[in-house]
Amino acid sequence: MAGVARERRQAVLRAIVADYISSQEPVGSKRLVERHQLKVSSATIRNDMAVLETEGYIAQPHASSGRVPTEKGYRAFVDAINDVKPLSVPERRAISEFLESSVDLEDVMRRSAHLLAQLTRQAAVVQLPTLAVSRVKHCEVVALTPTRLLLVLITDNGRVDQRNVELSVPIGEDAVTQLRELLNRALAGKTMGDASTSLALLVDDAPAPIADPLKRAISVLIDTLVDSPSDRVLIAGAANLVPMTTDLLSVVEALEEQVVVLKLLANLPELGNVSVVIGAENEDEELAKASIVTTGYGAAGETLGGLGVLGPTYMDYPGTMQKVAAVAHYISHILAGEEGG
């Protein structure tokens, strides 16, 4: 009998959380009876609510009002979500077409951030893919002027980085070609760490006519591309949090700090899983009033970066988890060079 009562109380809790998420109004027993197929009397539900309140899953904000979920209640609700339901076919098609019309990888990431913010009406964060596990596909060298070169580094996961190199003396077309060939011989197919070593060795063997431009190009590549961690994070929809509640103003301010945002994406779940951190479970005090849903994306079983959504603790957890998982899925498909489906 105790098991039946426990299951019924869990159903009552799920109903309270679902109602509160949709209305942000305290939920009473009468409303639960009217809106949910609980198949018990209002008096039974009131008793169940009293037990749930004693156990800390719900609270009564005012003497005459209904109940609202606590963070413990939200956690129990989220932990009971067994499967993240897939999006509908039209929703999947819309996401796929929007992301696959991107011009390059950074555009994919930027679009993903805006799309997540738009779909969830919350703040979205998307981390650019880490360079640590990437391999160099090609390094293009273009003479913008006789004394300025453009280096374009393209990795196997589609990331493109561009840097300018200022030269002390003008460079000719043949020298640019030679420079391009030497750099690609040192870089192509190598991981970022190996590429750094290879570039450092190349400095010692630089042919005299292009020794200076080669050293300058290598210095720029090592300093700004190879050794720099992939700390770049794109944020969209922070303004969505402002009208919700004054509790989230500190969250909006925290999003301006790169370190805080990176910490959000530091402990990503395994590929295909979604993580939910609720309220005070957040390590950062500024985020203690928010809930955060994160996941990773990648290719060939390797996590290359993360993305997530920040919102109030009364966010639509199933819907947010579903949308975060879907966008990560499409990014992974694009990175793997597959058709999203």
**Backbone dihedral region of 263: left (phi > 0), alpha (psi from -120 to 50 degrees) or beta?**
alpha
Q: Which structural domain range is residue 286 located in?
A: 89-130+230-335
The string of pLDDT tens digits covering residues 247-274 is 788 888 888 887 778 788 878 888 889 9
Residues 163, 203 within the same domain: yes
Answer whether residue 308 is part of any domain: yes
The string of pLDDT tens digits covering residues 282-299 is 888 888 889 999 999 988
What single-letter DSSP state applies at residue 122?
A: S
Answer whether residue 341 is part of any domain: no
The string of pLDDT tens digits covering residues 182-213 is 999 988 988 777 787 888 888 777 788 888 99
Confidence band (pLDDT; 50, 70, 90) for 316?
A: very high
Residues 190, 60 within the same domain: no
Residues 121, 159 within the same domain: no
Residues 288, 330 within the same domain: yes
With pLDDT > 70 as the criterion, what percentage of the chain qualifies?
Answer: 94
Answer whether residue 169 is part of any domain: yes
Mapped onto helix, strand or coil, the DSSP state of residue 61 is coil
Residues 8, 33 within the same domain: yes
The string of pLDDT tens digits covering residues 101-142 is 887 778 889 999 999 999 999 999 999 887 666 788 899 999
The structure tokens 């070609």 sit at 177
Burial pattern 102-114, b for ≥16 Cβ within 10 A else e, equals beebbebbbbbbb
**Is the dihedral angle over the CA atoms 180, 185, 190, 193 positive or is it negative?**
negative
Answer whether residue 84 is part of any domain: no
Residues 112, 71 within the same domain: no
Residues 158, 41 within the same domain: no
Lowest mean pLDDT among 13-17, 155-159, 164-168, 284-288: 155-159
Lowest mean pLDDT among 18-27, 53-62, 243-252, 271-280: 243-252
CATH code, domain carrying 173: 3.30.390.60
SS3 content of the chain, % helix, strand, coil (to 5): 50, 20, 30
Closest Cα partner for 133 from 296, 325, 260, 258?
296
Task: Tell me how many domains the chain contains.
Answer: 3
Answer whether residue 49 is part of any domain: yes
Closest Cα partner for 276 from 290, 261, 286?
290
Answer whether residue 340 is part of any domain: no
Residues 211, 94 within the same domain: no
Are 220 and 163 spatial neighbours (Cβ–Cβ below 8 Å)?
A: yes
The answer on pLDDT for 228 being more than 70 is: no
The string of pLDDT tens digits covering residues 36-79 is 878 888 889 999 999 999 999 999 988 767 899 999 999 999 99
pLDDT at position 131 is 65
The structure tokens 């969505």 sit at 240
Residues 239, 307 within the same domain: yes
Residues 58, 103 within the same domain: no
Among 52, 79, 106, the domain boundary falls at 79
Answer whether residue 182 is part of any domain: yes
Tokens of 219: 């210095």
The answer on pLDDT for 317 being more than 80 is: yes
Q: Where are the alpha helices (DSSP H) in 169-257?
A: 173-187, 192-204, 211-221, 249-254
How does the average pLDDT of the chain come out, rounded? 86
Among 210, 226, 242, the domain boundary falls at 226
CATH code, domain carrying 278: 3.30.450.40
Among 208, 226, 244, the domain boundary falls at 226
Confidence band (pLDDT; 50, 70, 90) for 341?
A: very low
Which of the two residues, 302 and 22, has the higher pLDDT score?
Answer: 22
Residues 304, 168 within the same domain: no
Residues 21, 170 within the same domain: no
Confidence band (pLDDT; 50, 70, 90) for 149?
A: very high
The whole-model pTM stands at 0.75
* φ, ψ of residue 71 in degrees (nearest 5): -60, -35
Answer whether residue 152 is part of any domain: yes
Are 102 and 335 spatial neighbours (Cβ–Cβ below 8 Å)?
A: no
